Chains A and B, each alone.
Chain A
Amino acid sequence: MIDSDIARRSLIKAVRPDRYTESTLERLVTSHDLAPMPKVAALAFKMMPDAVIHPKEAEEVAEIVGIANSWDIPVTPRGGGSWGFGGAVPNNGGVLLDMTSMDAIISFDSEKGIVRVQPGVVWLRLDEWLKRRGYFIPYYPSSAPGATIGGWISTGGVGVGSYKYGAARDNVRSLQIVLPSGRIIDTGHISDSKHPSQFDMTSLFIGAEGSLGIVTAIDLQVYPDPEAFVPASYSFSNMDVAYNALERISEAKLKPYHVAFVDDNYFRFLRAMGHVAPEVGGMLNLVFEGPKATVEEEVKFFDALMTSIGGKRESEEIAQHEWKERSYELRSKKLGTGAVIGEALVPIGQTTAVARETIALVKKMKMNLAVNGYLIDRGTVAFLPFYITDERRWIKSISSLSFVKKFLDISNAHGGRGVGLGLFMANNLRSMRDVNTVKLLRKIKYNIDPESRVNGGKTVELATRYGIRVGPRLFRFAMNMLAVLKRMYRRDRYDTPVPGGFPGGEHS
């Protein structure tokens, strides 16, 4: 709880009584994100906030941050909570700002194609809003039905449509930020320019995971709704052939709008849940959009390319279904009680090698997982393996966490990088950036937020609830121990059909 009555009263005054709560339920809900964290993690991190606040305006956020500064209260901004690295989870209690309450679409300039939104707007809602006006937003996270714009921007923003339209950072024209000092800034000079202003700070805050300030408004480039939109699915006998096909697509003279892949286990998990799913070795889902005439030519071109390298075009029904399922890639998590995702950017030429080593790791750790992913650009694949967990078997569940660390080690060894740092992966920063740059990043954090009060102890460092910083060696040792523990269990079983469908946990 907030210790001081004066501080509590000030915070309530900054918003309104109905937008401040210390209810156990809300604090519990906001004490984790997509990744189910075992309760034992509370020994190191106070993930439960002391209070949850629902601000509506940037000025309210600024006032809350000012009060937090006066009373030394940690502040954690949170969007949809649809990521899995603890970026939106407190590490030392304090105030959690539920940014989903800032969900206004502020303005839209159709001539410029610029929409200004508050950070709590959900991607799918914005897309539907724009579609009614003849526009669409071609880049968004696969978790678009629940992810907020501010949240995804803060994670760096690669996802659906990045292959053709770039990442979020390529399309964010300016940000309004409440700094840890409580002051408000706009990051760009001319708010909607793709050309950087002098000392342009937009990119600095994109991907900062809320650790440099709190995003309170975003200018996004949007595009006219395309005349044609055609998904096409191609099945392959095995994933090696499918990964080769990814490479060939990246070398092609034309670019689809989106290129995603799923492996055979992905479908196996779905079948185990009682769903009807194709029995194939792997599948690539391509999507084309644009003027009808150019889309027709693109489809012809990629049809010929895919069939020449062993792909079989699936029916339109399957293609449409796979496209609709793009936001529900973790549907099979109901086989357990949750799913944990590893997410790495891998050089396209290394995809097969990373996949093979990941499979070997999975076998060694007696796990069972599925892989999906997509092309980010011509040189990069987002590789997302996920496994099912059951928190009710908490020792086994926590021992599985070591997979994510070891998977990221594999991708790093092949020139890849993990996506996101948050709380749990913050120590990976050292394997991603050179020593000098890591030091500079930390200095920037402390320069902007000297007390490390706004989403502190994450992203560029890992700090426990006691303020003790955990270095990579200790982290690596703990993960290795967990991996050993995991190997002592029997192999995971989430993949065989269960009579009656949803089993609600691992079956024996």
Chain B
Amino acid sequence: MRIDLSRIGAINIDASRRIAIVGPAVRASALDSAARKAGMVAEIVTPADLDFTFADWAEESLRMLSTSNSGVDGILRNVKVIAPAQSYQTGYDSFPANGGGYDLTKLFISSGMTLGIPYEFTVTLKPIPDSTVIRTYSFAKLDDAVATARRISKSVFSSHVKMQSGGFDDLLVGPGSKKAIGEYLIITKVCGTKPVADVSMKAIDDMVSKASGKVVGDRPDEPRFIDPSSISNGCWPMGICVCDTGALADVVKRLSDLADKANRAFQFSIPDVTPATSVLLPLLQGPPSDSILNSIGTMLADARITLRGNQFWNPLLGDSRAVARLEVIRGIKRLIDPKMILNPHVLEAFQ
């Protein structure tokens, strides 16, 4: 049985508690619009500016939600879920989940809807800043771009740093091309009062110029959302990878070489650069052949990069600690869903 969550689309903004309670069918754009009407914004970053629903995110373990400092924990307070025969609240609406008892939020949202079906999400809001500057920089070399993006993310000047190859948008929603990647873009966002935003942006400008980057221009502070249905049929997302930031350049080069060998265009986006790990969205002109799929899988598993789904867990099963961890997860799964009826395909690696 497939459960269609697309009708649970209510948005309830509680400005006094600075939270929004939304249904799984709510898109990022709808939340943004409702929050702005109340003078608030949600600190949600949409990867590749794609306008997914909360249900989409939950299915992807919400890895695509993030903020500058505190990741998904910083914005997602509580999820109400329906598991077989019971409903649960993973945390609290108003507080960080340290009020008492075990915090289940991260566990449930990272289960890919295997532990429960979310029907309500509570996310935090913040006041709309006086000034927001979104500036794009261009780099000729991948290594320079990655190192600079990492430096900016460590500097705390910017509230968000993302990076992508020059032709990413073109391959994602346009015809794409087999041209090699010509430039690497860093897009940074700073916000606050105007003097603070100006000072921060100047500091970032200095970092970029020292690394041979150049300013492309500023984007207006208007949220940009791409309808997922407009994604080009010609492109194939290789998955959502969580990758060591220090290894990003190498991983991108290896993926690019794979695509070259197969004579396919390759682009990528890193929607959230952090000093330690980053989320990588590699995009291939598709569809991929079996040999490409196998090569990608092996490469990512070798690098211990996590990817959507569980197909790359198997290499970890030789690790006794990973096995013990899986057993705890299995135990919790059996507690909540003894007949294993929720999203059973996610559990293939558990069999």
Contacts and interface: CB of A to CB of B under 8 A. Distances in A.
A429 B101 contact: yes
Contacts of A157: 98
Contacts of A252: 127
Contacts of A162: 96
A213 B63 CA distance: 26
Interface string A408-443: 000000010111110001001100111011101101
A203 B332 CA distance: 15
B329 interface: yes
Nearest to A428: B100
Interface stretch (A75-83, A106-114, A278-286): A106-114
B94 A207 contact: no
Contacts of B66: 194-195
A166 B75 CA distance: 10
A171 B74 CA distance: 10
Nearest to B304: A190
A206 B310 CA distance: 25
A192 B277 contact: yes
Contact of A379 (B17, B104, B242, B276): B17
Contact of B98 (A165, A169, A294, A349): A169
B73 A169 contact: yes
Most buried by A among B66, B101, B114, B279: B101
B156 A436 contact: no
Given A253-B127, A345-B99, A170 B276 contact: no
A140 B102 CA distance: 20
A146 interface: no
Interface in B185-220: 192-193, 195-196, 199-200, 203
B27 to A, nearest CB: 21
Interface size class of B (residues with CB under 8 A): 35 or more
A169 B97 CA distance: 9
A429 B328 contact: no
Given A194-B66, A195-B71, A197-B306, A440 B86 contact: yes
B276 A196 contact: no
Most buried by A among B63, B87, B246: B63
Contacts of B17: 347, 349, 379
A192 B70 contact: no
A190 B306 contact: yes
Given A196-B72, A291-B157, A158 B96 contact: yes
Interface stretch (A35-43, A179-187, A329-337): A179-187
Contacts of B94: 347, 379-380, 415
Given A169-B73, A185-B324, A438 B196 contact: no
Interface string A198-233: 111111101110001000000001011010000000
Given A224-B155, A440-B336, A200 B107 contact: yes
A415 B99 CA distance: 12
A351 to B, nearest CB: 13
Contacts of B109: 196
A294 B196 contact: yes
B129 interface: yes
B275 interface: yes
Nearest to A199: B329
A458 to B, nearest CB: 11
A204 B101 contact: no
B105 interface: yes
Most buried by B among A109, A184, A199, A418: A199
A179 B328 contact: yes
B276 A441 contact: no
Contacts of B124: 377-379
B16 interface: yes
Interface string B74-100: 100000000000111110101111111
Nearest to A169: B73
B245 interface: yes
Interface string A259-302: 00000000000000000000000000000001101100110010
Given A349-B16, A436-B88, A418 B310 contact: no
B335 A444 contact: yes
Given A190-B304, A203-B106, A376 B96 contact: yes
Given A194-B66, A345-B95, A440-B88, A111 B306 contact: no
Contact of B324 (A171, A184, A189, A203): A184
A112 B275 contact: yes
Contacts of B199: 291, 293-294, 297
B244 interface: yes
A200 B216 CA distance: 39
Given A111-B246, A347-B94, A224 B87 contact: no
Contacts of A298: 196
A447 interface: yes
A325 interface: no
A195 B72 contact: yes
B277 A194 contact: yes
Contacts of B244: 112, 190, 192
B96 A212 contact: no
Contact of B99 (A185, A186, A195, A417): A417
A171 B72 CA distance: 11
Contacts of A112: 244-246, 275-277
B321 interface: yes
Contact of A189 (B101, B306, B335): B306
Given A200-B107, A433-B89, A438 B101 contact: yes
A301 B71 CA distance: 27
A316 interface: no
Contacts of B304: 189-190
Interface in B102-126: 102-107, 109-112, 114, 124, 126
Given A156-B98, A184-B324, A207-B98, A169 B103 contact: yes
B275 A290 contact: no
A485 interface: no
Contacts of B36: none
Given A203-B103, A253-B127, 19 more contacts: A156-B98, A167-B98, A170-B96, A200-B106, A200-B107, A201-B329, A204-B103, A207-B100, A224-B156, A252-B127, A291-B157, A291-B199, A291-B203, A297-B195, A379-B18, A432-B92, A432-B100, A432-B101, A447-B332
16 contacts: A164-B69, A169-B96, A171-B70, A179-B328, A190-B244, A190-B277, A190-B304, A197-B306, A199-B329, A203-B103, A203-B105, A291-B200, A294-B200, A418-B100, A440-B88, A447-B334
Give the top 3 A-B pairs by smallest Cβ distance, nearest first: A156-B98, A417-B99, A170-B70
Interface of A: 109, 111-114, 155-158, 162, 164-167, 169-171, 173, 179, 181, 183-187, 189-190, 192-204, 206-208, 212, 221, 223-224, 226, 251-254, 290-291, 293-294, 297-298, 301, 345, 347, 349, 376-380, 415, 417-421, 425, 428-429, 432-434, 436-438, 440-441, 443-444, 447-448, 459-460
